[in-house]
Every structure is written in C-alpha cells, then in structure tokens.
Amino acid sequence: MAIRKVARLGHPVLRQVAQPIPVNEITMDPVQRLIRDLTETMVEYDGVGLAAPQIFEPLRAFVMYVPPDPDAGFPGVPLTAWINPRLTIREGNTSLGWEGCLSIPDLRGKVERPLAVEISGLGPDGAERTVRYEGFPAVVAQHEFDHLDGVVFLDRMKDMSTLTYLREYERYWHTIDEDEEG
C-alpha cells in the first residue's frame, strides 16, 4: 500500500476517458493494490472520494467514503470501491452545492447535481452490485464518476461567479450557506 501523488488540473490524465479494467484482473494484485492505494491516498488527503485517474491510473475505478453525521442522523456511506461503474440518474430533483476536488486544491464552486443516482458495477471481489445514493453521497458518486470520463467539477459549473478559493469560501460563504440551511 502507498500514498500516491494526486494529479493536478492540467495533467492530461485528468482529461482522458479511463479504460475499463478486465474482469479477470480484478482480484489480481495490481488491481487490489490500486484499490488500497486509492483508499490510503483519499484518507491521507482528507477526501471523501478518489478516482484512479487522479493518481495517474487511467482506469475505471474509484473509491468513496462519507463519514456518518450523528447530528444530522446520517449513517454515512462505508468505504466502497467501484470498478467499471455505470451511473444512472434516478430522479429529476437537483441541488446546487459547493464542490471541491483533490486535483484542484484550494478551489470551490457551486455545481448543480441530481439528488439521487444509482451506481452499478463491480466490487474488489469482482462481484456485480448496484447501490442507490441520495443527497451528498450521490454528489460524491457523480463527482468521482465524472473523473472516469475526463470531466472535472469546473466543467459542470453553470455560474463561474461562485468559484472561490477555499480560504474565502470558509471566511465568507460557508457561514452564509449554513445560515440559509438552518
């Protein structure tokens, strides 16, 4: 296992379509090591998701982990690895929310995303599965899935006036958005 360097915006790997992982290779050491490296790197950088292209591997795999929030009654999403995922939008309702990216450090912007999605694909054991995500986990899944197609959150922003550095987001916008929710 290793903490890997994260590709930053401008590196070509972030703009290419990732290749599927052959099913017969999923349980082999290179793919298992990739999943461990994705997980360790995501944790090291305090992320909630990380796609293989972000660690210079143009393969269709990502990991995600959304910690529980007892105050909101949210149980969280356990560490989940997706290989060769397929994404389906499950309802028309959308939400405009702040996003950031480990490949675009220190920037945040508002992106409109569907509130419910379904991901189908393979797990690290090679077994097929389908999971429905709603709310923030749906956003995380869509964000990571986008990386597999060479898309970053900046491409999804409709209003670039919301683009801000993290420090200014924390200073000016984070508190305002919390007040609007409460």
% of the chain with per-residue pLDDT over 70: 95
Q: Which of 118, 144, 168, 181 is catalytic?
A: 144
* Residue 172: predicted pLDDT: 87
144 tagged catalytic: yes
* Residue 182: predicted pLDDT: 39
* Residue 176: predicted pLDDT: 59
Which tens digit of pLDDT belongs to each residue from 95-146? 999 999 999 999 999 999 999 999 999 999 999 999 999 999 999 999 999 9
* Residue 69: predicted pLDDT: 84
Q: Is 2 exposed, middle or buried (0-12, 13-18, 19+ CB in 10 A)?
A: exposed
* Average confidence (pLDDT) over 54-81: 92
**Domains of the chain by residue range:** 12-181
HEC letters along the chain: CCCCCCCCCCCHHHHCCCECCCHHHCCCHHHHHHHHHHHHHHHHCCCCEEEHHHHCCCECEEEEEECCEHHHCECCEEEEEEEEEEEEECCCCEEEEEEEECCEEEEEEEEEEECEEEEEEECCCCCEEEEEEECHHHHHHHHHHHHHCCCCHHHHCCCHHHCEEHHHHHHHHHHHHHHHHC
* Residue 181: predicted pLDDT: 44
* Average confidence (pLDDT) over 21-43: 98
Fold that domain 12-181 belongs to in CATH: Peptide Deformylase (3.90.45)
Residue 1 reports pLDDT greater than 50: yes
- Report the alpha-carbon distance of residue 182 to residue 84 in Å, rounded: 38
Strands 104-114 and 61-66: unpaired
Instruction: Assign 55 a pLDDT band (cuts: 50, 70, 90).
Output: very high
